[in-house]
Amino acid sequence: MDAVTRRHLDDFLQARLRERTGDTVAKERATLLAFFGWCARRGYVAAAPTDGMVAVKKGGNGSKFQALAQVEATLARGGLAPAAAAALWDWLYLSPAEIAGLLALVKSRARREVSHVLHAVPAYTGMRRGEVLRLTWGDVEFDRDAVVARSRKQSRQEAETARRIDLHPELKAILLDWRAKRPRGQFVVCDEGTLGPLARHQAVDRFGQPLRGTPWAIPGCGDRLKVGFHTLRHSFASNLAAAGVDARVIDEFMGHQTVAMRKRYSHCFPSARRSAIATFSLAAPAAPATVSECEVVESSGERGRR
């Protein structure tokens, strides 16, 4: 702890701002202030390195989401440091066709069948990684065509919050097939021959394995991939918005509780916004022509009316 300096913390916050919204990073800054203040009071450090730490501006949509073609075009222009280039993929969202191709690739290359489920569930529901790992068969309501996502993210308390998401027919077929192969156990996401849920590091490994060595891997960045659980979550919300789904429905599916969270996805499809604007006209209609205003003219042997 006594090796941490204010410069370290400032650099950390700036790096986080490239990945998260200002509101989120401001909360992380407050956590650092509280932690190192406690360390100083207890005598664990001579002085809190948070003194004078850079402030974080809240507000704004904090969104830098880009489509696959946009990210590739930005990288093609060059001039980015390796870390900055890799960070662009954190804001990627995919179209339905791109996700379909991704799921097909995962299914064909996965060493464990659970890898396909790890991709399919967030792709069709927008669930977070923790919610996917906590998902039980009791949360999958096949008879009601719904799936229940359970999270502690919003409440910040021990008690879980729950929201119900419509079960897509394609995901329903995937899960019914998966359940038939896993007749025992409570958790949806688990390895063959086990009953307990996957640990976080296991989920990351199972998720990434089918994509390593493919164009979805970031060159020169080890095992880092262009897509993650968050990519599928962002894509789910963005594609719903593009399809014209009511923002309140998207909020309910995603578990959004603030306008700022909703705005993160509203910019992803400017063409959809433009078509919405073009649905009405304020121009005064042209007055209909009358007979008295018409003049018959004759030129070059042809008759015309103007």
Count CB-CB contacts under 10 A for residue 150. Answer: 15
Residue 78 lies in a domain: no
- Most confident segment among 109-113, 234-238, 241-245, 299-303: 109-113
- How far, in Å, CA of 17 to CA of 154, rounded? 20
**pLDDT above 90: percentage of residues in the chain:** 42
pLDDT higher than 90, residue 113: yes
Q: Maximum CA pair distance of the chain?
A: 105
Per the structure, how many domains does the chain have? 1
Residue 204 lies in a domain: yes
Residue 64 lies in a domain: no
Residue 217 belongs to domain spanning: 89-271
Rg over alpha carbons for the chain, rounded to the nearest Å, is 26
- How far, in Å, CA of 84 to CA of 106, rounded? 27
- How far, in Å, CA of 95 to CA of 66, rounded? 11
Quote the tokens at residue 125: 């529901």
Cβ-based neighbours of 71, under 8 Å, separated by 6 or more: 88, 89, 91, 92
Return the half-sphere exposure (C-beta side, CA atoms, 13 A cut-off) of residue 270.
3
For residue 121, the domain's CATH number is 1.10.443.10
Residue 36: its H or E element: helix 22-41
**Position 168 confidence tier, pLDDT thresholds 50, 70, 90:** very high
Of the ranges 78-92, 160-174, 271-285, which one carries the lowest mean pLDDT score?
271-285
User: At 301, is the secondary structure helix, strand, or coil?
Assistant: coil
Residue 221 lies in a domain: yes
Residue 57 lies in a domain: no
Of the ranges 112-116, 181-185, 281-285, 291-295, which one carries the lowest mean pLDDT score?
291-295
If phi over 0 gives left and psi between -120 and 50 gives alpha, with beta otherwise, what is residue 43? Answer: left
Residue 187 lies in a domain: yes
Return the half-sphere exposure (C-beta side, CA atoms, 13 A cut-off) of residue 23.
10
Residue 251 lies in a domain: yes
Count CB-CB contacts under 10 A for residue 10. Answer: 16
Residue 70 lies in a domain: no
- How far, in Å, CA of 128 to CA of 236, rounded? 11
